[in-house]
Amino acid sequence: MKLQRFDVPGLSHYSYLLESAGAAAVIDPKRDVDSYIETAAAHDVNIVAVFETHIHADYASGALELARTVGADLFVSGHDAGETFECRFPHRDVRDGDEVTIGQVRLRALYTPGHTPEHVSFLLYDTIRNPREPLAMFSGDFIFVGSLGRPDLLGEDAKRRLASELYDSAHTRIAALPDGLEIYPAHGAGSMCGAGMSDRPQSTLGYERRSSLLLAPQDKERFIDTVLTHVPPFPPYYRRMKRVNSEGPKMIGVPGNRALTPAEFRELREGVVIDVRRPEAFGGAHIPASYNIGSGPNLPVWASWIVPYDRPVLLVGDDSTNYDEARRALIRVGLDDVRGWLKAGMRAWIEAGFDQAHVRQMSVGELAAELENDPFVLDVRGDAEWASGHIAGARHIMGGELPDRLDEIPRDRTIHVTCGGGYRSSVAASVLRVAGYRDVVNVVGGMEAWKRSSLPIERVGEGVGV
């Protein structure tokens, strides 16, 4: 038996390819499925089964496409009947206790609701060495390393009921499982599917029982209050992604992007333009009404928060941009309609004489000198970062929430945008520019540079200090 984990940075998503005796299964696959197919071919095994632990909210699933492409059986929880989200595409239901054999191993479904009403985990048994005791559990979004899945995805009316189910799953349904059981979750640190996850990719059930606050012995009401108090921010795109994954994402493949001349690019300007260059390059010159979301692990996260889903996407980069990776990042969060990228980047656009826009960049020293004039400072970091220290008088709106809270930002003042290091503030500055704000400044280096310069900060509940 062999097990390979596939990581998607940014989304902090883990999926798994399990091999045994020439057969293979994939658990919770990402949207771009070619890597599983290529790995199986390299190992001379056939993918015969695809498993989903639940209807995902944070990424577009590749389960349907993978199963159809390779002719594998697709196994999905049958506990979704009558729930808000049901799988509406062809699949094979698995319910609590159902088993599927893959080569010389078998996977047994264990009903573990709480994160979602239909959630199942899969227990792995070695049929040769020890067919009676499970070796591992593919826990999906039920148990993470250091945490449990958030139970609030279906809204206020359902969250306490789901938190109660999560308690039963964590304290009753897995009570008889051995401490040595290996835990393979669907996410790691950085995912918003749960709070306080460790950056270790796997654990054992015994270690989690001894170290996780939520698995410690406690009454149900205390557990419910604790888990609901610490849920991360709720990305609005989660609702859309649940619907996409319940209906079945369309077959997409990963065809190559098309290089567009500046004239061709301009003809397609009804699309959303995502500029994946660094903030300083974007600030120097960019196509008007572009979003600046730098390439790399954070691209799918911020694109999912701020980019409209009902328009085609066009990309702008530079000579170092990997457009294949950029497109993969976008389709993983359901931004499927990527039409192409600007050939030769902004240099070609400028040489063609087309309109360009700019975002002024300001150092922390320059902003500090402006404090006596009471500038409008917008801090787009997360809650914990804000609480750890911020500029006195700044307004705090987490960057992903900005498109829905523009009415809190004045249009008759200069908006100085800051974050941790400059990436998110450039994203937010581009959101403001797309929304029609004319006087926007990106604070280079953000609060990291501010603190390194020993400039005054204010903490929640405290006064100003250094």
CA distance 94 to 99: 8
Q: What local confidence, expressed as pLDDT, does residue 366 receive?
A: 97
CA distance 85 to 117: 9
Q: Which amino acid is at 55?
A: I
Residue 286 lies in a domain: yes
Q: Are 33 and 66 in contact (CB under 8 A)?
A: yes
Domain hosting residue 269, numbered range: 259-351
> Where does a domain end: 351, 374, 390?
351
Give the count of domains, the chain: 3
Do 169 and 33 belong to one domain?
yes
Q: What local confidence, expressed as pLDDT, does residue 39 receive?
A: 98
DSSP notation for 266-294: HHTTTSEEEE-S-HHHHHH-B-TTEEE--
Do 70 and 187 belong to one domain?
yes
Q: What local confidence, expressed as pLDDT, does residue 187 receive?
A: 97
pLDDT in tens, 117-171: 999 999 999 999 999 999 999 999 999 999 999 999 999 889 999 999 999 999 9
Do 387 and 328 belong to one domain?
no
Q: Are 164 and 170 in contact (CB under 8 A)?
A: no
Do 390 and 340 belong to one domain?
no
Catalytic residue among 274, 330, 419, 427: 419
Residue 146: how many other CB atoms lie within 10 Å: 22
SS3 at position 214: helix
- Cα angle value 272/292/35 (rounded, 5°): 75
- 3-class SS shares of the chain: helix, strand, coil, % to 5: 30, 25, 45
Looking at the whole model, is its pTM more than 0.85? yes
Q: What local confidence, expressed as pLDDT, does residue 257 receive?
A: 74
SS3 at position 212: coil
Q: Are 427 and 291 in contact (CB under 8 A)?
A: yes
- In the residue annotation, 419 being an active-site residue is answered as yes
CATH number, domain of 457, equals 3.40.250.10
Residues sharing a CB contact under 8 Å with residue 9, sequence separation 6 or more, in sequence order:
190, 297
Q: Are 187 and 12 in contact (CB under 8 A)?
A: yes
Do 110 and 38 belong to one domain?
yes
SS (H, E, C) 3-69: EEEEEECCCCEEEEEEEECCEEEEECCCCCCHHHHHHHHHCCCEEEEEECCCCCCCCCCCHHHHHHH
Residue 253 lies in a domain: no
Residue 375 lies in a domain: yes
Do 72 and 155 belong to one domain?
yes
Q: Are 443 and 364 in contact (CB under 8 A)?
A: yes
Do 127 and 157 belong to one domain?
yes
CATH number, domain of 50, equals 3.60.15.10
pLDDT beneath 70, residues of the chain? 254-256, 461-466
